[in-house]
Amino acid sequence: MQAVPAPAGPDSRPDGEATGRVVLETRNASKTFGVVRALRDVSLTLRAGEVHGLAGENGAGKSTLIKILTGFYQPDEGTVVLDGTPVAFDSPRTAQQRGVCAVYQEINLIPDRSVAENIFIGHEPKRFGVLIDRRKMNAMADDIVHRYGLMVDPTAKLGTLGLGAQQMVSIARGVSLGARVLILDEPTSALSGAEVDVLFKVVDQLKADGIALLFVSHRLSECYRLCDRFTVMRDGAVVKTGTPAELPRNALIAAMLGREGSGYGGRDSAREKHAAEQAEPALHIEGLRWSTRVRDVSMRVVPKEIVGLAGLLGSGRTETFKAIFGAQKADAGNVHLKGRALGNTAPSRSIRSGLAFLSEDRRSEGIFPRLSVRDNIVASVLPQISRFGFISRRKEEALVRQYIEQLGIKTAGPGALISTLSGGNQQKALIARCLSTHPVVLLLDDPTRGIDVGAKEEVHRVIRGFADEGLAIVVTSSEMEELLELTDRLVVLNEGVSVGEIQTHDASADDVLAILATNTSTNTPSL
């Protein structure tokens, strides 16, 4: 059996680099897309034998930076430096050839091929320079997976393995390419607790082998378990860099969210008083669990109340909504709507029971871009406005006109393609679709994502108006200040667990950060 050479130890890298030596860095990198400046003067340093954590909320610039490091994009300004020499990777393949590889949360491998074939695809060992030497390839793959403690058969089809094992094969592929820099982008997002433990051991071995690692995760417990240093990004710029000792959890969270603004608070106390007097909650959640994303969520929402789900990206906000609505089948827990238990939930049953859900992903899970404004608004109520399989045009027109006027949707007419509307007006059309089902509880997942300030205020006006009319509303946002301004009360989530709540009247971002920092676990959750 001919084995692949083991990666060099931390003090004996092939090029003589010692642990701690700078391998890859960006110097003052900037990137602009149209009018959006995605990166602003970003400098990042990755060292051999070190795990560097990259932290930041959605839109902070992490993905753009990773794509520059791996050759998807070229910086408009600044440079990428490898071993002290400026480089310009013109493609991810070029970056891989120079030892810079990325492993993403989505498995970008071929499920019908074997483990060994996936590890060596594109650089298979050959016989006579033409034929693939499968025996040698299997032996080399076997050496790599065993070096990192992976109990995987190199000849097994990748698709027969669990997600955790497939993720490890992605990492093994990077090792086979001679990676000196490995970027792990949300590698644990779909893994179970046991699989996460295996990944941690692999990362420890990669670090011992002198590989420079960039680690991205929204689970802070994982970051503090693995990372030697952090870089925190916000709005396309680096705002903090330091070791875990220099950036304890509360300081890291504050840097991610931007705690300079103390928040708005100051919601209308009349609504809070009315909410407190309600005897029966419109929505009552107890011990909700789904996979590793939602581990124990409980909350209570009454009519005319706007409750926010607060937490860092990856805290389980979207997954909680999907489990409540039935888009993902919960593993455990109870959902009560106006005192009645919703068993075996599914979206269709939830809608009939009085739940409505607006997804955060307007483009992929919201609008039907090739259909009209009219068709998008009535999509959830076609049975109610039809008879004997024929749509009542009179009922349809009345309903659509009602919501266009009530929500102030700016459109050339009900027959206009929804794709011709601005983002804010598309969002209002989707809210109209939710309201057309006459819900008692409205779940809004980041409803102002991707829309401008003016449109955001319009959506806020709509949300407040329907709460005043009696709806119970639960809302998330990636902006803490928005939640403090819009809601009556916040339920704080951390790694899939509801860890506290706070009234937003006179509250500040610091109050929420204190709950998050206090309840960030030191151990990775497992089931």
- Is there a single domain that holds both residue 34 and residue 91? yes
- Written as one string, the DSSP assignment of 327-382 is SS--SEEEEEETTEE--S--HHHHHHHTEEEE-S-HHHHT--TTSBHHHHHHTT-T
The verdict on residue 267 lying in a domain is no
The verdict on residue 103 lying in a domain is yes
- Is there a single domain that holds both residue 232 and residue 276? no
Residue 428: Cβ within 10 Å count: 27
> What is the chain's mean pLDDT, rounded?
82
Say what percent of the chain tops pLDDT 90: 24
- Is there a single domain that holds both residue 99 and residue 134? yes
DSSP state of 146: H
Supply 270's token pair.
């009349």
The verdict on residue 121 lying in a domain is yes
- Is there a single domain that holds both residue 238 and residue 283? no
User: What's the pLDDT score for residue 207?
Assistant: 92
Among the ranges given (146-160, 203-217, 448-462), the one the predictor scored with the smallest mean pLDDT: 448-462
CB within 8 Å of 345: residues ≥ 6 apart: 324, 325, 326, 329, 330, 335
The pLDDT tens digits of the residues spanning 235-255 come to 899 999 999 999 988 788 788
Residue 16: Cβ within 10 Å count: 9
The verdict on residue 213 lying in a domain is yes
- Cα 262 to chain centroid distance, Å, stands at 25
- Is there a single domain that holds both residue 350 and residue 249? no
The verdict on residue 8 lying in a domain is no
Name the residue among 255, 260, 230 with its Cα closest to residue 245. Answer: 230
Confirm if 508 and 261 have CB atoms less than 8 A apart: no
pLDDT band at 306 (very low <50, low <70, confident <90, very high): very high
The tokens 């100051």 sit on which residue?
266
Confirm if 515 and 492 have CB atoms less than 8 A apart: yes
Confirm if 15 and 83 have CB atoms less than 8 A apart: yes
Domain end (from 203, 234, 257): 257
Position 271 pLDDT exceeds 60:
no
Domain end (from 207, 229, 257): 257
User: What's the pLDDT score for residue 230?
Assistant: 95
- Is there a single domain that holds both residue 170 and residue 306? no
- Is there a single domain that holds both residue 85 and residue 177? yes
User: What's the pLDDT score for residue 86?
Assistant: 95
- Is there a single domain that holds both residue 251 and residue 365? no
Q: Compare 480 and 97 and report the one with higher pLDDT.
A: 97
Give residue 314's region: left, alpha or beta (phi > 0; psi -120 to 50).
left
The span from the CA of 304 to the CA of 307, in Å, is 10
Give me the number of domains the chain comprises: 2
What integer is the mean pLDDT of 449-455?
Answer: 63
- Is there a single domain that holds both residue 218 and residue 283? no
Position 527 pLDDT exceeds 50:
no
CB within 8 Å of 369: residues ≥ 6 apart: 363, 417, 418, 419
The verdict on residue 10 lying in a domain is no
User: What's the pLDDT score for residue 452?
Assistant: 58
Supply 473's token pair.
């509303």
Among the ranges given (54-68, 261-275, 448-462), the one the predictor scored with the smallest mean pLDDT: 261-275
The verdict on residue 160 lying in a domain is yes
Which residues constitute the domain of residue 327?
A: 272-521
Q: Compare 106 and 70 and report the one with higher pLDDT.
A: 70
The verdict on residue 58 lying in a domain is yes
Residue 128: Cβ within 10 Å count: 6
What integer is the mean pLDDT of 512-524?
Answer: 65
What integer is the mean pLDDT of 410-427?
Answer: 83
- Is there a single domain that holds both residue 94 and residue 127? yes
CATH of the domain at 465: 3.40.50.300
In three-state secondary structure terms, 191 is: coil
pLDDT band at 87 (very low <50, low <70, confident <90, very high): very high
Position 55 pLDDT exceeds 80:
yes
Name the residue among 24, 23, 29, 37 with its Cα closest to residue 79. Answer: 29
Among the ranges given (152-156, 199-203, 329-333, 418-422), the one the predictor scored with the smallest mean pLDDT: 418-422
The span from the CA of 501 to the CA of 494, in Å, is 12
pLDDT band at 233 (very low <50, low <70, confident <90, very high): very high
What integer is the mean pLDDT of 184-192?
Answer: 76
Q: What sign for the dihedral angle of Cα 183, 41, 64, 426?
A: positive
User: What's the pLDDT score for residue 259?
Assistant: 60
pTM score of the predicted model: 0.59
Phi first, then psi: give them for residue 78, nearest 5 degrees: 85, 180
- Is there a single domain that holds both residue 278 and residue 347? yes
Name the residue among 141, 129, 71, 124 with its Cα closest to residue 99. Answer: 71
User: What's the pLDDT score for residue 46?
Assistant: 96
Supply 210's token pair.
């002198």
Name the residue among 518, 479, 527 with its Cα closest to residue 312. Answer: 479
Q: Compare 131 and 385 and report the one with higher pLDDT.
A: 131
User: What's the pLDDT score for residue 197?
Assistant: 82
The span from the CA of 502 to the CA of 507, in Å, is 8
Confirm if 458 and 293 have CB atoms less than 8 A apart: no
pLDDT band at 9 (very low <50, low <70, confident <90, very high): very low
Confirm if 337 and 356 have CB atoms less than 8 A apart: no
Supply 496's token pair.
């899939």
What integer is the mean pLDDT of 27-41?
Answer: 90
DSSP state of 114: B
- Is there a single domain that holds both residue 110 and residue 154? yes
pLDDT band at 279 (very low <50, low <70, confident <90, very high): low
Domain end (from 257, 288, 321): 257
